[in-house]
Amino acid sequence: MGRGALTLFHVRGIRVGVDYSWFFVLFLVIFWLSNLFETALGVNDSSYMPYVLAVASALAFFASILLHELGHALVALRHGIGISEITLWLFGGVARMTRDTDSAATEFKVAVAGPLVTLAIAIAGAAVGIGLAGSREGFVEALTLQENAEVTGVEYAIAWLVSVNVLVLVFNLIPAFPLDGGRIARAIAWAVTGNRTSATRFAGRLGQIFSYVFMGAGLLLVLNDAVFSGIWLAVIGFILGSSARGATAQTAITERLEGLRVADVMDADPVSIPDDATIERALDEFFLRYRWPWFPVTDGSARFRGLIVRESADAVPETERRTQRVRDVFQPDASGTLQVSAETPLEALLGNDALRRMGGLAAVDNDGRLLGIVTVEQLGRALREAQGSAAS
């Protein structure tokens, strides 16, 4: 999901897009809200007002979902975790982190950020709604969509947006991994036990339990003629269960890597290119000699600055390669996603987006000096050796 999504815009370098399944949900929400507002307002089929309100409400709802995900993303960025993309899709939204959190406190802060944003939206919407209605009673009439009430279409739309955000908030706080509530539960278990793996297993099992509850509830709804709602809830339960089982299965892998650090498997004699080297030197002495697709770039103090890829060097005109410097064309690592501390636990690299994409990461010390390179192959070798030792 998300890889073939349409890009809407970028926020602080984060790609924001919509999956094609989002348009299906948008259509259903608009269709449903049009009928809902038409009944509440007591207007005939020829009125365009219910449709306008439905479109505005649906877009506002998805905007609130986007703000929810941006809440997760901005907190993650503040803790040095990159966000590659945010995608709206069939069942809401997802912010894709480039790596997992490295502490229980960070996990909790990232997980709780989204629900706090949703809560703020609900509170702000309720305040606006009460102000427009003139009283709490009037806003309650709008919330319950009472017919023939002295409520305007805008008040109905705001009330619906508040109610749906409260629903999203409650649903996301269910302690079922990978929902926000499940991640909060994992953070608490992690803080109590001091073990991320056991905490993930605990949260994953909670997710599996709730997935069965959702699927069972969906079946009951279908048997009681609420076919669409029942199927929808059952599908959510199925997806939730699949994600939870995947998280639980991954703990069996991470357990075998416990105790290993990046420094234990990295290449401790990395080849790097000085940032003041000419492009001609980079091509002749490094790319043509080693035939690697990229090299780490370091400054005069051996601090890691970023990567230079072969395509960037080749793009420099031959007449300028003797004067152009590597620092002019390399890819700086401003977000820190291309590097990892040499003391990082090896299991923390599982699912690292930059490692998967580039095939390797720079391993650095506390001062940012390059100590080595850790690759996908080295991670895989460590995992195979751990599996072999476990089997023996």
Using one digit for the tens of pLDDT, what is the confidence trace for 356-382? Answer: 888 999 999 999 999 999 999 998 888
Judgement on whether residues 80 and 172 belong to the same structural domain of the protein = yes
Domain residues for 163? 6-257
Same domain assignment for residues 266 and 235: no
% the chain with pLDDT above 70:
95
- Look at residue 40 in the predicted model and tell me its pLDDT: 77
Is pLDDT above 60 for 354?
Answer: yes
- Give the model confidence (pLDDT) of 247-296 as tens digits: 887 777 777 777 788 999 999 999 999 999 999 999 999 999 999 999 99
Together in a domain, 273 and 361: yes
- Name, in order, each residue with C-beta under 8 angstroms of 323's C-beta and a sequence gap of 6 or more: 278
Which among 216, 239, 257 is the end of a domain?
257
Question: Any residues with CB less than 8 A from the CB of 120 and at least 6 apart, and which?
Answer: none
Q: Is residue 292 part of a domain?
A: yes
Say whether pLDDT at 3 is over 60. no
pTM: 0.76
Count up the domains in the chain and report the number: 2
Same structural domain for residues 180 and 329? Answer: no
The closest alpha carbon to 111, from 121, 97, 131, belongs to 97
Could you tell me if 89 and 193 lie in one domain? Answer: yes
The reply to whether 10 and 115 lie within a common domain is yes
Quick: pLDDT tens for 315-351.
Answer: 999 999 999 999 999 999 877 788 989 988 887 787 7
Q: Are residues 251 and 280 in the same domain?
A: no
Q: In what order do the strands lie in the sheet with 273-274?
A: 273-274, 294-298, 304-309, 331-332
Four-CA torsion 44, 45, 47, 50, nearest 10 degrees: 100
Are 203 and 243 contacting, i.e. CB atoms less than 8 angstroms apart? Answer: no
Is 90 exceeded by the pLDDT of residue 81?
no
The CA angle 129-134-135, to the nearest 5 degrees, is 85
User: Which of 228, 257, 286 represents a domain boundary (last residue)?
Assistant: 257
Per the structure block, which two tokens stand in for 345? 């636990």
Same domain for 92 and 218? yes
Return the CATH number at 347.
3.10.580.10
Q: Are residues 295 and 379 in the same domain?
A: yes
